[in-house]
Every structure is written in structure tokens, then in C-alpha cells.
Structure 1
Amino acid sequence: MFDGIFEAIEEWMRGLLTGMVESNLTTMFTDVNEKTGEIAAQVGQTPQGWNGSIFSLIQNLSDSVIVPIAGMIITFVLCYELISMFTEKNNMHEVDTWMFFKYFFKMWVAVYLVSHTFDITMAVFDVGQHIVNAAGGVIESDTAINVDAMLEQMKTAMESMEIGELVILALETMLVSLCMKIMSVLITVILYGRMIEIYLYTSVAPIPFSTMSNREWGQIGNNYFRGLFALGFQGFFMMVCVGIYAVLIATIEISDNMHSALFGVAAYTVILCFSLMKTANLSKSIFNAH
């Protein structure tokens, strides 16, 4: 009689632990799939497409608040340019007509850059979007983990496990599932943080654009342009990280060792998150933006 009771208890515990493992794995793999799929969708969007309301807000702030300041900077830079032009030519003893044409051309360029700031800025991100979309076509590996296939392999492996092993596996899946949720939040923070940085960067675009007509002050504008390209190409580096992650995930085999496979998925997701965090510094260092 007692043997039947113990068998029933063991069967009940086995079903309980198996269900807990399957629930944890389903939640974990679903979260990972959603976030890795979101990366490709997020980095391939321009500032206008990501959130039109925020973009309109930033554009209105730039036009109403920053452009007047940029106009004052243009006036100062052009006056400085005019004074420097005259003093460089032996105190106006070597003044030529072409100097004035050159000055008026610089004036026209400065005004044109400030009045078309957002067009030029968005052109940079359009180029970045094109590169990201092209990279998405080359990276053909699927980043999504096949949840059904994973669970089927897990069920097969769990049938031969003892109660103690199932308890350990349930605790492991609970821990890894919690870690995956934290990684999912970090990935979201990285993606949204990049877009917010882009909006902040573009909000003050007229000011560095207003310095482009002068050789000395133009260093501000040149560095700003390098920062723009760094932000645009950061999306490409993120896509490369996702492609590497897809290749690593495809190499995981559940049938060999369930515990190592489980922590392998967690390790690869942590590596993906860490790599995404490094893309900003990598892109800035390549474009020499600071």
C-alpha cells in the first residue's frame, strides 16, 4: 500500500516540477525572442518613424529655441570671419574682390546649413537606415529560439531524470528566467536610450551647424557631424551583434547536456546585451567623435 502512495507522490511531484520547468522555459524563451526581434525592428527606424510625436516636439523646440541662438552665433562667426579676413591681408593693403565673393559665399552656406538643419541631419539617419536594412538582408540567420522544439527536447530529457535532478533543474530555470527578464529590460533600455540620445543630439543641431563656415569654430560642427554618423552607424553594429547571437544560438544542442544548454542560452543573451552596450563607444571611436 505504501509503495503505491509513494509512487503517486513521486508522480505528482514529477508532474509539478516538469510543469514548473516548462513554464519557466516558455516564459524565458518567449522574452528572449521578443527582445531580439525588437532589436532589428528598432535600429532600422529613423527618428521620424520611431515616434512622430517626439520628433515633432524636438523639431519645434529646435526651431523656436535653438535657431535664434544659432542666428546670433552665425552673426558672431561671420563678423569674426570678416575681421580675420581683413587683418590677414596686411591690414587691408592687399584686399581683392574675390575675398568678398568668398565671404558672401561663406555667409550663404552658413545660413543655408542652419535653415536646412533637420533635412541634413535626417539624411544622415536615412543613410544609416539603408545600411541597417541592407545588413538585415545579408544576416539571414533566424534569431528566434524554436520554443516548441526546445520544450520537446526538454520533455524527452526530463523523463529519465530523478526527482532531485528535476528540483535542481526547476531552480536553475527559475534563476535563468529571472536573469533573462533582467536582460530583456536592459536591452529595452539600450534601444530606447539610443533613440533618446538621437533626439537630444538633433535638438541642438542648428548651433554646431552655425559654426561650419569658420575654420576655427568649424571644429564644433565637424565633431557634431562625426557624432551624427556614429549614432547612425551604431544601428549597423547592433545588427552585427544580433547576427552573431543568431549563429551562437543555432549551435546549442539540448540533447547533449540540458544544464549546459540552459546556461548557454543565458550566457549568449548576456553577451548580446553587453555587446549592444559597447556599440556606442565602438562607433564613436571609429568616427573619432567625442
Structure 2
Amino acid sequence: MESDNWVVRNLEDALSTWNDKMGEVVGLLTTSPADFKGGGIWDVILTIHGAVQGIALALLVLFFLVGMVKTCGSFAELKKPEHVLKLFVRFILAKAAITYGLELMLAFIDVVQGLMATIMSAAGFSATEGAALPEEMVTAIESAGFLESIPLWAVTLLGGLFITVLSFIVVLTVYGRFFKLYMYTAIAPIPLSTFAGEPSQSVGKSFIRSYAAVCLEGAIIMLACIIFSLFASAPPVVDATAPVVTQVWGYIGELVFNLLVLVGMVKMSDRIVREMMGL
């Protein structure tokens, strides 16, 4: 039954916001970009990708010619069959990367989605465990007098604000990953066209590694959620003999610390993946 006490309701509302956002995080991580928000965004990204392919094909010829000029010491080298074959194969592979790059990117997304499903299955993890206010603390708060309630209002306002802000930071990080996937997919043909020239191919390699890092970032965030769920499986300990303000302050302090651990791990996921990929 919902409490009529303002302090209890404020804490419960903050915890409810956190639980909702954590459920949203897990749902986002297990959702394919093609299914996100009904797929409308993905359809627009595919349209942009197709339009950019025309520009990429023009750049393909430009990078190919620039690379040919820089790698050939003289015109006589172009008469060598092995050199001509090498240039021809490079051009064909770069053209294939532009034409079929989207299929390869989607295949990598499917692999990462399968990886996250495997991680969740191996850990026995389906959703984060919801945080709830202990019953003994609810009883202590409701039994507090008016003068004792005054500092409780300040503590709960501050604690509720911290919890709400941290919950939005986590979910915004996951949304940011989705937006990065869309941006990479939309302009993918441009960096892939650099494979046509040997001097510019480092741009294409860097793009592929960065795209793989963004995809794997989801798996790292999923691992962070699983680790946090195990780390915070036991609720904060409440000393029933302490004053009610001390109880609430101790509970909020330990809870905020646990949430900061998760936020820190989620925010570091990008850096962890880039260190793994050597970026």
C-alpha cells in the first residue's frame, strides 16, 4: 500500500525512476537498431546511406587515382601485369566495401546482439533487480515527529535528486550508443571509399575499428549491469537503533555509492572498448 508520508513517497518515486530507467537500459541493449522506436529512424538512415553511396563512388575513383599516382614511381610500373592486377583487385574490393558494407555492418550488429544474449543467458540475467525502500525504514519515517521530519525533507530531496540524475545519465549513455550506430551507418560509404588508395586506407581501417568498438560497447554496458546487479544484490544495511535521520542518510549514501559505481562503469565502457581495440 502506498504511504501517505511525503518523505517516503519522494524516496519511492526516485527509486521507481531508477528501476524504470534500468529496465529501459536492458531493453535498449537487447534491441536491434532496425527495431528501435519502431524502425522509423532506421529507414531514414538507410535512405541516407543509399544517397551517400553515390558520393562515395565518386570519391572511390578519386582516392584510387591519388593512390595510383603516389604508389607508382613511374608510368613504366603501370605496364607491369602484377602491378596492374594489384590496383585492379584493390579497386574491386573497395567498390565491394561500398556496395556491400551495410550488409557486413548489419552482420556485425547481429553478432554483438548474439554475444549479449549469450552473456545474459550464461549469467542467468534477465533484468536488473528493482531497488525498494526497506519496510523498517518506512515505519521509522512514518513514526517521526514534525521536527524530525524537517531534516528528513532536505535529505530525501538531495538523495532523490542524485538518484534521478544518475538514472538519466545511464540511460542517456545507452541512447548515445544508438545515435553513434546510426551516424556510423549513415556515412559509412565515405570512409570505406578510402580503401581504394593505399595512402588513404588507414582512414577506412580506423572507421571499421571504431564501428566495432561502438557495437561492442553494448556488450560492455551489459556486463556492467550484470556486475552491478551482483554487487548491489544485498540492500543497504539499516541500523534500526539509530535516529531516523541517520538511518535515511546512511541508506541514501550507500545507495548513491552503488549507483555511482554503475554509472562509472557505464561511462567507462567506451574507453574500455577503445583500449581493447587499440584506438
TM exceeds 0.5? Answer: yes
SS at match of 1:48: coil
Which whole-Å deviations, capped at 9, do the CAs of 1:85-113 have from their partners, x for residues lacking one? 6x34x642694433333332222211111
Matched, 1:174 2:157: yes
Partner of 2:273: 283
On the 8 A contact 1:18/1:166 being kept in 2, the answer is no
Give the unaligned 5+ runs of structure 1.
Answer: 1-16
**Stretch deviating more after TM superposition (250-259 or 117-126):** 250-259
Query: Which one-letter code corresponds to 2:151 in the other structure?
Result: I
In the alignment, the residues of structure 1 paired with residue 234 and residue 186 of structure 2 have an alpha-carbon distance, to the nearest angstrom, of 44
Structure 1 residues 148-163: aligned runs within 5 Å? 150-158=133-141
Which whole-Å deviations, capped at 9, do the CAs of 1:189-218 have from their partners, x for residues lacking one? 222222112211221100111112432211
Deviation of residue 156 (structure 1)? Answer: 4.3
Structure 1 residues 88-107: aligned runs within 5 Å? 88=73, 91-92=75-76, 95-107=79-91
Deviation of residue 187 (structure 1)? Answer: 2.3
On the 8 A contact 1:74/1:211 being kept in 2, the answer is yes
Partner of 2:15: 29
Aligned pair partner of 2:99 in 91, 106, 115 = 115
Aligned pair partner of 1:145 in 124, 130, 133 = 130
On the 8 A contact 1:208/1:220 being kept in 2, the answer is yes
In the alignment, the residues of structure 2 paired with residue 45 and residue 155 of structure 1 have an alpha-carbon distance, to the nearest angstrom, of 37
Aligned pair partner of 1:57 in 37, 40, 44 = 44
In the alignment, the residues of structure 2 paired with residue 248 and residue 116 of structure 1 have an alpha-carbon distance, to the nearest angstrom, of 43
Runs of 4 or more, structure 1, over 6 Å off, are none
SS at match of 2:194: coil
Structure 1 residues 199-278: aligned runs within 5 Å? 199-256=182-239, 257-278=247-268
Query: Which one-letter code corresponds to 2:276 in the other structure?
Result: I
TM-score, with structure 2 as normaliser: 0.84
On the 8 A contact 1:124/1:228 being kept in 2, the answer is no
TM-score, with structure 1 as normaliser: 0.81
In the alignment, the residues of structure 2 paired with residue 172 and residue 93 of structure 1 have an alpha-carbon distance, to the nearest angstrom, of 78
Deviation of residue 45 (structure 1)? Answer: 2.4
In the alignment, the residues of structure 2 paired with residue 282 and residue 177 of structure 1 have an alpha-carbon distance, to the nearest angstrom, of 30
In the alignment, the residues of structure 2 paired with residue 209 and residue 33 of structure 1 have an alpha-carbon distance, to the nearest angstrom, of 41
On the 8 A contact 1:43/1:235 being kept in 2, the answer is yes
On the 8 A contact 1:145/1:249 being kept in 2, the answer is no
Deviation of residue 146 (structure 1)? Answer: 4.8
Deviation of residue 26 (structure 1)? Answer: 1.6
Larger Rg: 1
> Structure 1 residues 93, 229: closer, same or farther in 2, change over 3 A?
closer
In the alignment, the residues of structure 2 paired with residue 254 and residue 18 of structure 1 have an alpha-carbon distance, to the nearest angstrom, of 24
Partner of 1:134: 118
Question: Percent identity among equivalent residues?
Answer: 20
Aligned pair partner of 1:72 in 28, 36, 58 = 58
Q: How many residues are matched?
A: 268
